Amino acid sequence: MVKVISYAHGVTRATASAQYIERDEVELETHDGLRLPDRHAVAEEIRAWSSSFEKRQPSQDVVAVRVQLSGLRDTAEDRERLGVAVAAAFDGHHHAVRIDAQPSGHIEARVVVVMARTITPEEKAADRVAQADGVKRPALQTRIRVVEQRLGSTDDAPLRKVFDARTEAAMKARIETTTGYPQHGISIEPATPGHGRDALGQRLSTLVSKSPARDHLGRFIRDAGDIREVTREWGRHLRSQSPRDTMHMVVSAKAGTDVKAFTNAVRTFLHQQFADHKFMFGVHTDKAEAGHIHAHAIVAVMSEMGTKLHPGPQDLAQWRMTYAAHAREHGLEVVATRAVEQASSRSYGPKDKSIVDVATTPRPERKERDRAYASDPRNANLIRNAQERIETARANPIRIPMTERERASVMESLERWRSEVKATTENDLAQCMLHRLTTAHEAGSILKDLRQAAAPENREAQPHKSNANETSDNAMSHKPKSAADMLLDLRVLNQKAADVAALLPEGSRAKFLERAGTYLEKIAERVDQQRADEAKVQAGPTSQVRPSMAPVVEKAGKAPGTATWEAQQISDVVDRVTEIRREQAEMLERLAREPRQAKERDRDHEAVD
């Protein structure tokens, strides 16, 4: 696996990323073969890289603002008027406001504002129409901006933060339009903007430290729990951007891999792929017994020629192929694959690991905050979902392809693995992947057949509308299926589902059986419906009896159209559907018992030992 897990901006963050690799006394190696034995050496190396780091500052994401309308007093009417003015000024922006009374009796609003403007669906639709009809409309400012203004004409005059001219003019105009208050009596003063969710949480904490605040939807923000919830909700709207100076990537190996060969493969891969970039890497073997042999690499985003790395899916795929080629040169059985090419469930990300780590192992310097985070009921689902993603990724159950696109990708990957097995028959990994992809393809195919058979618009169960070029024989060949035929199809599909379920590992079997059982139940209901429809037809004149049923009845020695014949047909279909449903229940119970029986056998063996 070759995976990019994070980026860093600035010397401090880049050094922290590199020193993380150096933990547990892992010696790092640089692009020019220099050994970095300790944290100090790592910091010095990053400092040497910093001359090529991006000088652009991170985006302005959140700002605290002070709003005043001259002459407003501490009355209910003026408080409401000031609140309306704040809502107008920051229309389209997530914000929270607290109104304070001054010793003079006047009032002011303290506001925390997300600087990126939220674009509404109506505005997006209007923009699409504008692009289609070619009519140019005035562009709305998507982000309020804060600049520095010098208070004086000399170079040493102090600086203060102000909104840029366009932002301030737009806000004051909205206030005047909404409240009728003249612009010369409006004061809007920003503080220093902050970057990212941390700054948002810090400014909200300061805002509610004296008294509760209300957000733009009128909800109260009172305590740390409210702040965490608001930060989580608003964080999606920050549109935060940070310059990238270093890239942190991981190259992993399977359990039992020779460490020396793996180290050499990673070294040659990095030298070829990032020949024009500074980098350092280290190999971690502290969890080798658990199969966690892996290498961390820090790569400078800016190359010696001034180009920058902007890796996308195609780049990562190409990096995997390059690494796999170097690994095979060093005697390792590695094939470049994506998750879909292994029928693998989606992996978890660094964010999931951070959530679980904070909840289970509080950091020494933030014990109280981490414990409060873990015990907050509002975070329970977030933590549980992160844990489930990690557990699922580590168990790596077979991912069953559900869409046509996924099935096509699995089939394409299956052909690649077949070619790999033919080329190197002794490759155990290729053999394993061939079996895994084959099982995934069969499971996806049977679910597709079940879904089609269960669908009301299933063509095989509906009368076929022939065109003028078709013969009458062809048209008759598409007549609706009888209940008996549908029952036979149900038996076949039920048996196929059972056969595929037996091949799936425990982690994938439950979801497969759940989906398959739902479809089988719907098909059984359609058999019941078809049987009822046939019973209604059979209750009419003898001439309406379906021809396809006659041979079955004549063999039984009963005349079609009689009450005995009708009762027997209804009874037969009901008995067959009941039997299939019983077989389904027995299959599910048998497959559910297998894991329990395996665990009991393991416990018995341990007791004997």
Structure tokens at 357: 């780590």
Fold of the domain built from segment(s) 2-56+243-332 = BirA Bifunctional Protein; domain 2 (3.30.930)
Residue 592 pLDDT exceeds 60: no
Angle at 226 between CA 224 and CA 230, to 5 degrees: 115
Where residue 508 falls among pLDDT bands split at 50, 70, 90?
Answer: confident
Whole-number Å distance between alpha carbons of 363 and 45 = 27
Residue 132 pLDDT exceeds 70: no
For the chain, which residues make up each domain, given as ranges? 2-56+243-332, 62-237, 352-395, 399-455, 494-609
CB neighbours of 18 closer than 8 A, spacing ≥ 6? 28, 42, 43, 45, 46, 246, 280, 298
Average pLDDT of 415-430?
75
Average pLDDT of 157-171?
91
Q: How far is CA 222 from CA 112, 160, 194, in A?
A: 14, 30, 21
Summary mean pLDDT of the chain:
79
Top CATH class of 62-237 equals alpha beta
CA dihedral 408, 409, 411, 414 (to 10 degrees): 180
* Lowest mean pLDDT segment, chosen from 102-111, 186-195, 579-588: 579-588
**Does 584 or 439 have the greater pLDDT score?**
439
pLDDT per residue as tens digits for the range 516-567: 888 888 888 888 888 888 888 777 654 444 433 333 333 334 444 444 444 4
pTM over 0.85: no
Average pLDDT of 309-333?
84
- Which residue, chain included where needed, has tokens 């020695």? 557
Average pLDDT of 33-58?
89
Whole-number Å distance between alpha carbons of 603 and 594 = 14
89-98, 256-265, 404-413, 494-503 — most confident range? 89-98
* Lowest mean pLDDT segment, chosen from 124-128, 283-287, 515-519: 124-128
Average pLDDT of 269-283?
92
pLDDT per residue as tens digits for the range 359-403: 888 877 778 888 888 888 888 888 888 888 777 766 667 777 878
Query: What pLDDT is attached to residue 503?
Result: 81
**Residue 351: enclosing H or E segment and its boundaries?**
helix 350-360
189-198, 235-244, 481-490 — most confident range? 189-198
